[in-house]
Amino acid sequence: MADNAKILILNGPNLNMLGVREPEIYGADTLADIEQRCHAHASTLGFSVDFRQSNVEGELVTWIQESRTTCQGIAINAAAFTHTSVAILDALSLLDIPIIEVHLSNIFARESFRHHSYVSAVAAGVICGFGWRGYTLALDALKDILDGD
Ligand code: DQA
């Protein structure tokens, strides 16, 4: 089932600034570095990856809606929208494909407003605190889920 699966990896606001944005929290890698690692790792799993970022909530909602019929799994770092967006939760709730929530930082070790996530309600699992590795771990998790392991 996982063979040739297409995975949408979605990134929310300010993640386009990785590399210069609070590197002590988010690491020195750019989003392009992370994207490259995702493509390399996905190819070892037999996946193809559609890797996207937007600062616009509605654009993320539209991409989530589209993934319903075009993708077999989704990994999402909704960034600040994680903590605020009922619209993203509602869009994710439309999906019948597995959803993995990713955060670079450990949101539970940070400010209390980051402890609540709207995404978690519909996620198969949450990976946070492992930096860029969270993205490749999410791909591993999707592989196991899609393989039925
Ligand atoms: C983040 C954590 C969020 O709280 C924050 O707003 C982000 C990035 C992370 O990857 O650690 O923008 O999702």
Atom number, ligand 1, closest to the C-alpha of residue 78: 13
Q: 3-class SS at 84?
A: coil
Ligand 1 atom nearest to 14, measured from its CA: 12
Report the distance separating Cα 17 and Cα 79, nearest Å: 12
Of 85, 105, 108, 127, the one to substitute when testing ligand 1's pocket (max ligand atoms within 8 A of C-beta) is 105
Question: Which residue reads 């609540």 in tokens?
Answer: 116
Give residue 4's pLDDT band: very low, low, confident or very high (50, 70, 90): confident
> Which domains, ranges and CATH numbers included, belong to the chain?
6-147 (3.40.50.9100)
How many angstroms separate the CA atoms of 137 and 41, rounded? 10
Q: Which tens digit of pLDDT belongs to each residue from 90-121? A: 999 999 999 999 999 999 999 999 999 999 99
* Res 149 pLDDT > 60: yes
Which residues are tagged catalytic? 26, 103
**φ/ψ (deg, to 5) at 115:** -80, -25
Task: Give the pLDDT confidence of 47-88 residue by residue, as tens digits.
Answer: 999 999 999 999 999 999 999 999 999 999 999 999 999 999
Whether the CB of 53 sits within 6 Å of ligand 1: no
Say how many Å lie between the CA of residue 80 and the centre of ligand 1.
6
Please give the full DSSP string across 16-39, using - where no structure is assigned.
Answer: GGTTTS-HHHH-S--HHHHHHHHH
pLDDT band at 37 (very low <50, low <70, confident <90, very high): very high
Three-class SS state of 96 = coil
Task: Provide the pLDDT confidence category of residue 1 given band limits of 50, 70 and 90.
Answer: low
Band of pLDDT at residue 13, cut at 50, 70 and 90: very high
Q: Is the CB of 146 under 6 A from ligand 1?
A: no
Task: Using DSSP bridges, classify how beta strands 48-53 and 73-77 pair: parallel, antiparallel or unpaired.
Answer: unpaired
Please give the biggest Cα pair distance in the chain: 40
**Ligand 1 center from residue 114 Cα (angstroms):** 8
